[in-house]
Structure 1
Amino acid sequence: MLSLNKSSKLYTGDGSVDINGKPVLKQNTGNWRACPFILGTECCERLAYYGIATNLVSYLTVKLHQGNVSAAKNVTTWSGTCYLTPLIGAVLADAYWGRYWTIAAFSTIYFIGMCTLTLSASVPVFKPAECVGSVCPSATPAQYGVFFLGLYLIALGTGGIKPCVSSFGADQFDDTDPKERVKKGSFFNWFYFSINIGGLISCSLIVWIQDNAGWGLGFGIPALFMGIAIASFFSGTPLYRFQKPGGSPITRMSQVLVASFHKWNLEVPTDSSLLYETETSAIEGSRKIQHSVELK
């Protein structure tokens, strides 16, 4: 019994595994030792995203010579796409790939999109000629094609990063350990701080560079930071804790709805220790959420 208790303290209690699928030691993985790589990834990715999104209307009107209405429409459509693609990334992460490989795959797509966008703003053949007086030549279909290819690769890439990075950071803290559970709340404070730092740099320095030093450099710097984000993420691999994919989230959502309606009038004991709960979730790859009264 003593040996069993000692073993339980050495390993996480939430089913976490390493990159090879083996149980992980608490002392060597996760916790704050893994978080700087994840926070760095988020900060650089948000810097890259806002470095494109903040000044995109200006690029479309000034460099691609679109009208204000067309430019605003294109930016709105792209922005909306960026908020729809996380549905794809979330389903893939939960049901098939896991958060780590989803972030890795979509980050690569994101970086390719950033590089394509930088080329479209840097290489003369990929952008229309400058205005001469009041005459502004329109972009060719090929030039539009290269630009929008890069733009929508970014939209697809952000779909695998946005829903997974914060959850992957939360996976680094063992829910069954009271001390680590407290630290998880602190992680989210730093997570949103990282987002705001990336956004602040983009909305000030990057926008200034785009307006004053050129769009090639203004897009190239966010692309560089996206490359740094990928390097930061992969460099932390030996320290990460991984949760196995738990099957389709649609199935689990349906189970919650059915159980909620079925137990609508169920009397719950005031003493939570009297609740009958198994140690692990019935859904493979998932862990149970501890009982609370926060949603009463």
Structure 2
Amino acid sequence: MYKKFMAETHNYKNGETLVVEDDIYTKDGTVDLHNNPVVKKNTGSWKACRFILGNEFCERLAYYGMSSNLVNYFEQRLNQGTTAASNNVTNWGGTCYITPLLGAFIADAYLGRYWTIATFSSIYVLGMTWLTMTVTIKGLKPTCNGDSCNPTLTESAVFYLALYIIALGTGGIKPCVSSFGADQFDENDKLEKKRKNSFFNWFYLSINVGALLAGSVLVWLQTHKGYGWGFGVPAVAMAIAVVSFFSGTRLYRHQKPGGSPLTRIFQVIVASFRKYQVKVPADKSSLYENADEESVIQGSRKLDHTQEFGFLDKAAVVTEMDNIKDNPNPWRLCTVTQVEELKSIIRILPIWATGIMFATVYSQMSTMFVLQGNKMDASMGPHFEIPSATLSIFDTIAVIFWVPIYDRIIVPVARRYTGHDRGFTHLQRMGIGLVISIFSMLSAGTLELVRLRMVKRNNYYDAKHMPLSIFWQVPQYFFVGAAEVFTFIGQLEFFYDQAPDAMRSMCSALSLTTNALGSYVSSLLVTIVTDITTRNGRLGWLPDNLNRGHLDYYYWLLGILSLLNFAVYLWIARWYTYKKAMGTVRG
């Protein structure tokens, strides 16, 4: 255990001396960049987080500024149809949420969160720079004659390569930044712990402020000034994000990497099967655990034994073959804490799975909502049209509106009735968001039903736009934004709080994979729906000309699937057991 030094201050009142002791150093095992204990008053908390939030704001500005109008770039510049463009966007977006598994593993096992963010940010800047070159340099950008573009195979390949370099760069940032920010608050300090409860709300707010500027200013630049400006400004924003991150280096607190989490997981599995014939004793205190207050896993507290998944307890049963006086073979004997790490992951997985359907609904904003808006009246006065992709700002505005209300009003009110320090438990908060997401699909489906009836009534089948204001889409975006405040931020808190201490980046990455799988599920649903509904020569629900399709049926399908998903979530949430940590962190 690293040393803790105590400071004494003296206050004089009525001739009496009051001695107040307070720790100079943090109690959660955090260190500075040189592995020295960090002074609490000089580091961490909001003074460090302002640089992390600045980094996240600029990174999200870059990401959303580049991706918000991407579906239109695929259609207009790469000459792709509705289904192909939608699937390419969702597949790329899905990859951006799969690569965090790699970045998180590197952070938890070897580099730590700081150096992982620093390394992958550099890759990110490289990808953004390359992407800008593919839309500005002759020979790399497609040749267009008016609205008709004919990209070569090489031009398309270079563009895809730049996109997927960006996807790799996001892999080291997404799973680490929120966890790194939360690391700046000492869980053993009541005041800092309370501040951390608010951190995730304001972290998500910074994401959406960046998205707001991206969905308005940068989409306008792409539409009216060209994709060179539209992609070049995000590249500059990403460079600023890197500068912001490094500017706070001297203030940061660092959790030491605890070694490969996957190795520890497999050790428990192997040890359990090796001892499948061993009987677990009734007295669970006889299971193997080191005698010290600290866990043997660096950067982790001990975990208390839980009753579920009793088979895994066999890995911690001491037998005659185990030499516990010396260092025991971890592939034969594991500590209770190591076993409980795996149990925590298993308990999290069903909750994780229910987030996939929510992410599927969320992904519609960058695909079907945009394509639906393309067929509506986007004029704002006689001389200005709002790009359909810009409507995503209303999702962002909803988040910006609800985050302060949730943090400052809803939580204190809910706390009076529930007695919970967060107002709602993590699971309650996520469940509320799942319900709100159903209303977003009902809203989108109702609007499309009204739009198609207008098409039929006025014979607008071949009209490029129709006299129905695009602003009728605002409610569906607003519902998605409100749902995010509950479900996505709830997920950030849940996966950080319920993750084993030395697996927090991995669990944050795991939560992000719901976005990836949601994008893939969306692509799969589009493919399946298109295949089934176009049989026997029919146009199907999702033809290139949506005026002749039934996008409303697709929204109803997503609404029904979301309702079924919520029912499953309720059953899983009742079964879930929260983890119990004890002891101190091994520094």
Candidates 116, 128, 136, aligned match of 1:114: 128
Matching residue of 2:300: 286
Kept after mapping to 2: 8 A contact 1:64/1:127: no
Q: In the alignment, does 2:59 pair up with 1:45?
A: yes
**What SS is found at the alignment partner of 2:144?**
coil
Candidates 230, 233, 239, aligned match of 2:251: 239
Percent identity, please: 55
- The one-character-per-residue Cα deviations of 1:212-261 (angstroms, maximum 9, x if unpaired) are 111100111111111110000011101101111011222455688899xx
2-side partners of 1:53 and 1:116: how far apart? 15
2-side partners of 1:265 and 1:71: how far apart? 59
Per-residue deviation, 1:6: 2.9
Per-residue deviation, 1:294: 7.1
2-side partners of 1:10 and 1:253: how far apart? 36
Candidates 22, 25, 30, aligned match of 2:44: 30
Candidates 170, 182, 200, aligned match of 2:194: 182
Per-residue deviation, 1:69: 3.0
Kept after mapping to 2: 8 A contact 1:92/1:98: yes
| TM-score where L is the length of structure 1 | 0.86
Kept after mapping to 2: 8 A contact 1:244/1:286: no
The letter for the 1-side match of 2:139 is: V
Q: How do residues 81-92 of structure 1 correspond to structure 2 at under 5 angstroms?
A: 81-92=95-106
Candidates 159, 162, 166, aligned match of 1:154: 166
Candidates 140, 143, 146, aligned match of 2:152: 140
2-side partners of 1:263 and 1:33: how far apart? 49
Matching residue of 1:6: 7
The letter for the 2-side match of 1:70 is: A
Q: How do residues 202-213 of structure 1 correspond to structure 2 at under 5 angstroms?
A: 202-213=214-225
2-side partners of 1:240 and 1:143: how far apart? 42
The RMSD of aligned alpha carbons is 3.0
Structure index of larger Rg = 2
Q: In the alignment, does 2:503 pair up with 1:220?
A: no
Matching residue of 1:201: 213
Matching residue of 1:271: none
Q: Which moved more, 1:198-207 or 1:187-196?
A: 198-207
How many residues are treated as equivalent by the alignment?
A: 284
**What SS is found at the alignment partner of 2:42?**
coil
**What SS is found at the alignment partner of 2:6?**
helix
2-side partners of 1:40 and 1:4: how far apart? 33
The letter for the 1-side match of 2:83 is: V
1-side partners of 2:48 and 2:259: how far apart? 26
Distance 1:263 1:30, change over 3 A: farther
**What SS is found at the alignment partner of 1:6?**
strand
The letter for the 2-side match of 1:102 is: T
Distance 1:4 1:82, change over 3 A: closer
- The one-character-per-residue Cα deviations of 1:137-184 (angstroms, maximum 9, x if unpaired) are 521232123211210011001111110000000111111211111111
1-side partners of 2:222 and 2:91: how far apart? 22
Per-residue deviation, 1:12: 0.9
**What SS is found at the alignment partner of 1:124?**
coil
1-side partners of 2:136 and 2:60: how far apart? 22
1-side partners of 2:246 and 2:280: how far apart? 44
Per-residue deviation, 1:46: 1.2
2-side partners of 1:77 and 1:141: how far apart? 19
1-side partners of 2:210 and 2:283: how far apart? 47
Distance 1:4 1:21, change over 3 A: closer
Q: Which moved more, 1:185-194 or 1:70-79?
A: 70-79
2-side partners of 1:13 and 1:111: how far apart? 36
Matching residue of 1:273: none
Candidates 173, 188, 191, aligned match of 2:185: 173
**What SS is found at the alignment partner of 1:98?**
helix
Per-residue deviation, 1:23: 1.1
Q: Which moved more, 1:67-76 or 1:194-203?
A: 67-76
Per-residue deviation, 1:5: 3.4
| TM-score where L is the length of structure 2 | 0.45
Whose strand proportion is higher, 1 or 2? 2
Candidates 125, 128, 135, aligned match of 2:142: 128
Kept after mapping to 2: 8 A contact 1:40/1:229: yes
Kept after mapping to 1: 8 A contact 2:5/2:24: no
1-side partners of 2:303 and 2:201: how far apart? 21
- The one-character-per-residue Cα deviations of 1:102-152 (angstroms, maximum 9, x if unpaired) are 10111111111001111111112211211257xx35212321232112100
Distance 1:225 1:287, change over 3 A: farther
1-side partners of 2:303 and 2:202: how far apart? 23
Matching residue of 1:230: 242
Distance 1:52 1:263, change over 3 A: farther
Kept after mapping to 2: 8 A contact 1:57/1:72: yes
Q: How do residues 265-276 of structure 1 correspond to structure 2 at under 5 angstroms?
A: none
Kept after mapping to 2: 8 A contact 1:55/1:207: yes
Structure 1 residue runs of 5 or longer lacking an equivalent are 269-275
The letter for the 2-side match of 1:5 is: M
Distance 1:212 1:34, change over 3 A: same
Q: Which moved more, 1:46-55 or 1:82-91?
A: 46-55
Structure 2 residue runs of 5 or longer lacking an equivalent are 9-21, 273-278, 306-497, 499-575, 580-587
Distance 1:34 1:217, change over 3 A: same
Per-residue deviation, 1:264: 11
- The one-character-per-residue Cα deviations of 1:79-103 (angstroms, maximum 9, x if unpaired) are 1111111110110100011000110
1-side partners of 2:109 and 2:150: how far apart? 45
